[in-house]
Amino acid sequence: MNRLCRIIVAFHLVAAIIAGPAAADVLLTPEEISRTLTHGPWPPAVGPDPSNRVSGNAAAIAFGEQLFHDPDLSRDGSISCATCHVPARGFSEDRPRAMGRVALDRNTPSLMNVGTHRWFGWAGDSDNLWAQSLLPILNADELASDAQSLKTMMADGPYASTYAQLFGPSSDHASETVLVNIAKALAAYKETLITGQTSFDRFRDALELGDMARAADYPESAQRGLQIFLGKGNCAFCHTGPAFTNGEFHDAGVPYFIEPGRVDPGRHGGLKALLESPFTLDGAFTDDPGKRGAWAVRNVRRTHLDFGKFRVPSLRGASRTAPYMHDGSLPDLESVVAHYNTIDMERLHADGEAILMPLNLSDDEVDDLLAFLRSLSDDQPVAD
Amino acid sequence: MPANRAVAALCLLAYLAGPALACVSDPDAQRMTPETEAAPEVYAILGPSVVSQPTGLELVVCPWNSGAVSSVDVDAWMPSHQHGMNYEPDIEALGNGRFAITNMVYHMPGPWELTVTVRAGAERASYVLDMPIP
């Protein structure tokens, strides 16, 4: 039934393509067009986060932005969130692995579109954005602060009145509550970091409207790259939907050795941290009495396959956030495509992903795939 | 456009025909394929087929000789990729052999297979249903 009706829709699309004035310039088949439509619309309509009562609150967003850039949030005034999450680099940075008080094990991920995720961090240590925001504050290798110092900071000094206005006087709050409230203001700010419309989105929206003349503005090379992405590249199995990620965890064949003899357990470790955390959507610190979203932490399965899996990154704005992968081991998009093109099957777990295999793309096909990937980043970048 | 109208008529016919129903009247109910021929009929009424978002289904187990259904297990996997779901679905008995299944998450597009095992007294039967996720 469903399929039959999809065929009818496809039939109409073919008719439109054949009839359209710029017919020769849209290369996609009706099937490819209907799959392209699933990667939008963009930006998505996301409402406020029900677990965070200051989500979407303008004063909290401004407060969160100040805190994000303030090194005084760290133990010794030396590190702020923006030290690693550099605005002009899509809120990531150009070194492979982050440098806190010591070298960390992972690459600093972009914070653009971070509000759209289900799990946070490369391994999904948190199921909500405010819980993820308090990890670097407490981490001894990053800001290395503690709840008591934050409570003192909010009691007097420049932030006292803003804090009191948003949450009530900090003297009434346990230090842990102050920590969570600060994290919620940081989260409110980060939810506003959203990439804009790209040439891909204009193409996709024109296809949806059946405006083939406008769709034909999208370069043919990017269209051929999109066909590889949806087709023989198998990319769209994992990089699904408007943000080009299914939000889940996979093994993309990146080695998980941090150094000889030490491995990054990936999702296996992330689930352990998640299930030990008091700050989940199922815990006492959510502001949503209905505990929406808590199904994920309650129902998530743990299996031995979690080892060495990492969250599928969004591909929007990726041109601005080199280097790539959880360990920053691939310096540019060319290397990422080369990685998938010649993937080392030995590196995949024996019972790992059955869809990754060397693609053997020609040089022209590689260029087309790159043209498509870059077209996901030609929106207006955020200024520093 | 006559060709178009013919397809539309087919579409309507397929809709009206529905499954040959023993104990279900829902037009969207799909009969699941049993492992053994003698097994009682089981129908699935699938919720929206969305990728990587929680969705659900309703299961209808037609009457068993040995009496009331004591339990159902529900899962889904991608045979071509050899992996299942990352979440445990929730199962709620609604009475009269009906079950509401929630928090099914098909995290990749492509062919999935729904698997169900029903127990009633000493009897036990397993079923499958092909489930394409767009």
> Which residues make beta-bridge pairs with A309?
A266
Q: What is the DSSP letter of A95?
A: S
Q: Does B107 contact A248 at a Cβ distance shorter than 8 Å?
A: yes
Mean pLDDT by 10 residues, chain A (384 residues): 47 47 76 97 94 98 98 96 96 96 96 97 98 97 96 95 97 97 98 97 98 96 98 96 97 88 94 98 98 98 92 97 97 97 76 78 98 95 57
A231 or B39, which is more confident: A231
Domains of chain A: 58-190 (1.10.760.10)
Q: For position A9, what pLDDT does the model report?
A: 45
Interchain CB contacts (distance < 8 Å): A and B: 71
Give how far B1 is from chain A: nearest CA, Å: 11
Q: What is the DSSP letter of A307?
A: B
- Classified as helix, coil or strand, A150 is helix
Instruction: Give chain B's length.
Output: 134
| Residues B22-58: b if buried by 16+ CB within 10 A, e if exposed | ebbeeebbbbbebeeeebbbbbbbbbebbbbebbbbb
Complex confidence, ipTM: 0.88
Of A300, A301, A354, the CB nearest to B82: A354
Per residue in A262-300, pLDDT tens? Answer: 999 999 999 999 999 999 999 999 999 999 999 999 999
Q: Pick the range with the lowest mean pLDDT from A351-365, B30-44, B50-64.
A: A351-365
pLDDT band at B68 (very low <50, low <70, confident <90, very high): confident
Chain-centroid distance, C-alpha B92: 15
Backbone angles phi, psi at B61, to 5 degrees: -105, 115
Q: For position B22, what pLDDT does the model report?
A: 63
For A293, name the nearest residue in chain B, comparing CA atoms only: B54
How distant, in Å, are the alpha carbons of A53, A218, A220, A378 from that of A201? 32, 10, 15, 10
Per residue in B75-121, pLDDT tens? Answer: 999 998 888 999 999 999 999 899 999 999 999 999 999 999 999 88
Q: Does B87 contact A300 at a Cβ distance shorter than 8 Å?
A: yes
Q: For position A383, what pLDDT does the model report?
A: 54
Of B14, B49, B102, the CB nearest to A4: B14
DSSP H helical ranges for B1-134: 2-17
Q: Does B88 contact A7 at a Cβ distance shorter than 8 Å?
A: no
Q: Does B109 contact A237 at a Cβ distance shorter than 8 Å?
A: yes
CB-CB contact of A170 with A154 (8 Å): yes
Domains of chain B: 24-133 (2.60.40.1930)
> Which residues make beta-bridge pairs with A336?
none
Rounded to two decimals, the pTM is 0.91
Instruction: Give the mutation candidate from A4, A119, A245 for the B interface (greatest B CB count, under 10 A).
Output: A4
- Within 8 A of A241 by CB-CB distance, chain B residues are 51-52
